Structure 1
């Protein structure tokens, strides 16, 4: 099978991109032919075959300077003619059997769905966030969990100014989502894949993709992931450093508990985090180095303050044989079983997080056994073979 993966960024920027490249590698091992389409970017993986067809890079956070730049960016968010044209040319050259979309919002827009429909190619989309139900992606209002747009429609975002407290930015996102719904811009997607039951429930409550949403959990390729061999280590955070990830809460918890934390990743909140003697920053690491850092830990912290979908940080920690302390939001409680392979704590609660991390570090043998339980969980329930079978079924359903 010839699979064309479409994502706005084509480098390991976060969990969505990690999943994209890992699944593409699994598909190639299984004998599929894989190609990529996305936005032109200096950090994109080298050697992308169809890069000449990629639309030009546009940065939206912060917005482009000047009135003209902002108007052009807004127009591209709603409908990108360059993305549609580039994907049409890529489809003509690669001739895929299916197009598998990921995060295509804003920089690519649903114009890429129209390109697939015009070419007669079926489309499957993996949902990595809540964008189709919440214009600002995150189901957050001023940093707090919110489902107003899920139950009341996308124009709630404009009324609440929930995008960074900005009325203009919130209105733009609300209008964008309203227009896409009004003109059924996403209807060309045959199957919407939700990696968690929580996300699938949000889409169903929002009336998005009725009858087209199916749950398929992300895989962990543990055959190529060495597990932690002996007890020991400290606390590690691995992921994109953004406000919703709660890394500031983790640093505060580390100070309360008197423990050190290693932070691997990059992102827009990096410069705002407090620099203390308890926090060591490693930046964005290559995959092998990241896994080595995780294996050196006794526990991985996922202190998110938003409704996580199914974060790869948890699955990779389990694959490395390391337990996880995470918050009780979104899909996280579907992954972590307290007392078995980690602990679940309230969000934005440094004291509770500190206590949970302390309990884990106080008995490293127990922590090691919990990590082994996590490894067993992903071996049994998150296998690549099962995931590929689920993807193929979704591809066939979309066709």
Structure 2
């Protein structure tokens, strides 16, 4: 069986379930993973692939020259070439633009075609883009395909100078059969149970979500469970206290994929108010949790940020507000309560959307088709 060499910063960050989905579902190309760091291996087993643990390094001279030039030093894997040249590698797949920049020379020496997946910060974060400018020119010129999650990210990549003819939309995907579907209903006699899932960073928009929940128009009973952690947790907990919401908002920290699925089964509506951060960081595409919630039958309250309208069905599976707009989000929360008779229908619409457009068992065929074409 031919192999695809997957290039990652780490295998695998807790939030990168979308990468794991595509790796574990590979059928025609054995996934070989080359990473700088190894973590959460028990959470993300890879029975159909192989983890290649070559030590990575960057020479001091290369680091110094890169720092002086305001760019990134290339990474090397001593001893890897001798092993990899004897493997049936058909194509290399770099997961995020940064990894493509620092492994570009390694892939070129290996002599294999390169595909690059862009995910979010790598097309939006200002400091990174400034340092990656020269590296991106090389990547755009040499890569066989540049992969994005949706049309908003596609347009952003074109603005960065990528050749449009190389860009391919590859939808993020999950296995819907792993998510239990349940229609939601609410009669107004109990609190609405909201769920937020994500890293507690600016682009996830939870600060805006708390402001919206504190708005006087949100005059129905509710509770919010926050699953996730990050650098803004203390500030967000303080904000909840300042707004008088501390008795209705529970911060539970990180959870496993299984724990998240259980939480989805117990909650009514997903609240995911993503936005562009001050430093430009954005979702790029859309959070995977939007797919997971819709697969479970949860209506969604979110924003029109990035490719979120592309992975939901606006007005049919999700109420979407302008990003960063607490008043607009409060209006959508009010609509959600007033239109609770539609929750079941919206849940079915969301599930249908995921089964049709975001089923990993279908999307892996498209991705491996790109591998075959590139190789």
Q: Give runs of aligned pairs for residues 65-104 of structure 1, distance below 5 A.
A: 74=67, 78-82=72-76, 84-85=77-78, 88=81, 91-92=84-85, 94-103=87-96
Q: Pick one of 225, 231, 234 that aligns with 1:268.
A: 231
Gaps of 5+ in 1: 58-67, 139-162, 164-169
Relative to the length of structure 1, the TM-score reads: 0.76
Gaps of 5+ in 2: 187-191, 239-245, 277-281
Contact 1:254 1:261 in 2 (8 A): no
Whole-angstrom CA distance in 1 between matches of 2:335 and 2:55: 49
Superposed displacement of residue 93, structure 1: 6.6
Structure 2 CA distance for partners of 1:207 and 1:77, relative to 1, 3 Å:
closer
Contact 1:77 1:109 in 2 (8 A): no
Alignment RMSD: 3.0
Whole-angstrom CA distance in 2 between matches of 1:226 and 1:73: 49
3-state DSSP class of the match of 1:370? helix
Deviation readout 1:166-222 (Å, 9 max, x if unpaired): xxxx4xx4552233145x245332111111011112222332134210112122311
Q: Please, which moves more after superposition, 205-214 or 279-288?
A: 205-214
| Structure with the larger RCO, 1 or 2 (CA within 8 Å, 6+ apart) | 2
Aligned length: 344
Structure 2 CA distance for partners of 1:381 and 1:43, relative to 1, 3 Å:
closer
Q: Give runs of aligned pairs for residues 5-16 of structure 1, distance below 5 A.
A: 5-14=6-15
Whole-angstrom CA distance in 1 between matches of 2:71 and 2:54: 18
Whole-angstrom CA distance in 2 between matches of 1:192 and 1:379: 25
Whole-angstrom CA distance in 2 between matches of 1:394 and 1:245: 31
Contact 1:3 1:100 in 2 (8 A): yes
3-state DSSP class of the match of 1:237? strand
Deviation readout 1:107-158 (Å, 9 max, x if unpaired): x562322222222222212211262xx5xx34xxxxxxxxxxxxxxxxxxxx
Structure 2 CA distance for partners of 1:31 and 1:203, relative to 1, 3 Å:
closer
Q: Pick one of 289, 294, 308 that aligns with 2:259.
A: 289
Whole-angstrom CA distance in 1 between matches of 2:55 and 2:229: 25
Whole-angstrom CA distance in 1 between matches of 2:176 and 2:129: 41
Contact 2:11 2:39 in 1 (8 A): no
3-state DSSP class of the match of 1:273? helix
Whole-angstrom CA distance in 2 between matches of 1:3 and 1:42: 21
More strand by share: 2
Whole-angstrom CA distance in 1 between matches of 2:87 and 2:372: 19
Residue 279 of structure 2 corresponds to which residue in structure 1?
Answer: none
Whole-angstrom CA distance in 1 between matches of 2:96 and 2:83: 18
- Aligned pair 1:180/2:135, yes or no? yes
Residue 25 of structure 1 corresponds to which residue in structure 2?
Answer: 24
Whole-angstrom CA distance in 2 between matches of 1:175 and 1:92: 34
Superposed displacement of residue 41, structure 1: 4.6
Contact 2:114 2:145 in 1 (8 A): yes
Residue 64 of structure 1 corresponds to which residue in structure 2?
Answer: none
Residue 216 of structure 1 corresponds to which residue in structure 2?
Answer: 170
Whole-angstrom CA distance in 2 between matches of 1:87 and 1:262: 45
